[in-house]
Amino acid sequence: MDQLESILTLMKLPGVGPARLRRAITALSEAQVPIEEAFTENGRRLLTNMGLSASSRQSGAGTIAERLRRDGVSCFVSPFHDLTLPAFVRAHLPPVLFVRGPSELLSARSVGFCGSRSATERGLGVAADIAEQVAMEKLNVVSGGAKGVDVTAHRTALSRSGTTTVVLAEGILEYRMRQDLRDVFDPTRTLLVSEFFPDDRWMAGRAMQRNRTICALSRALVLIEARSTGGTFAAGEAALAMGVPLFTADYSSQHESNDGNRILLERGAVRLRQSRSTGRANLVHLLELVRQRESDTNTPAMSVSGSEQQDLFHR
């Protein structure tokens, strides 16, 4: 059994979730048992001592592994020694990542986007404006591939010759590209990432979980139109908890579709402002933070001020 098949088999052991999978990988490493030997006598003994039923492993890993190889999917395992990653990214990623596309984007300077699937036209316009500016700065755009804000960010980056990372809420073999991305898709500039078993279906809980991975891969997170509950708001909370600078808009007109923005601003998010001279989102401080976090991932969020700025959603 090779490393890929062993990882797939570990993921399917009864009772194994991300935390137990990470502990199993760590225990194997500390015992100097290669992952591909996880189900030899020594490996099974170690897993059994951890309370894992290594003898009851499910079959089918070989078939899934073959499909992954055929589709050009790579598998990276914590602590990701085969990737050049900033310490912050390495510390917050899930234990296993399946990727298809240019894997160097995992370590790229990136800005994450999260927002409502039913964002207003103004919200989508702001997302497109920011994603365009980010792409023009040669920064990678990270989002979750959902309709609304996510697709707007991905599409804008690709249409401006930029790069983008799509973090999936399903297994990588289950991903089907949205129609509104197909005409701009470029496999050399698009990275697909999934932390889930390759044939897992989309689930709301997985979407919430993958939002933390978006945060982990981002030097800053832009949040558009969050309600006070739900996945977008939870992504903002995760960013703040993880120390990822969070940027969001302050709406002059509060209603249910954006009341989460105000709450997150009260908790430490940085207000997005609009430049009076250009009419576009002012990203000076966001871009400064992204560059600073390249060497110091603990840099606190910076405030935004200045007479040449106004509220992004003033009207």
Indicate the domain borders of the chain. 1-70, 103-311
Measured from the Cβ of residue 64, the count of other Cβ atoms closer than 10 Å reads 21
Q: Which residues in the chain show pLDDT less than 70?
A: 55-59, 251-257, 294-315
Q: Beta partners for 248?
A: 223, 271
Q: Is 305 exposed, middle or buried (0-12, 13-18, 19+ CB in 10 A)?
A: exposed
pLDDT at 41: 92
Distance CA 264, CA 63 (A): 45
What 265-269 contacts at long range (C-beta under 8 Å, 24+ apart), as own/partner pairs, is 267/237, 267/240, 268/240, 268/301, 269/223, 269/236, 269/240, 269/301
pLDDT at 157: 98
Check: CB of residue 103 under 8 Å from CB of residue 75.
Answer: no
pLDDT at 252: 59
pLDDT at 59: 60
pLDDT in tens, 138-149: 999 999 999 999
pLDDT at 301: 37
Residue found under tokens 């001592």: 49
Of the candidate CATH numbers 3.40.50.720, 3.30.420.40, 3.40.630.10, 3.40.50.450, the domain formed by 103-311 belongs to 3.40.50.450
pLDDT at 176: 95
Residue found under tokens 């994603």: 131
pLDDT at 53: 82
pLDDT in tens, 13-55: 998 999 999 999 999 999 999 999 999 999 999 999 999 987 6
Distance CA 281, CA 102 (A): 29
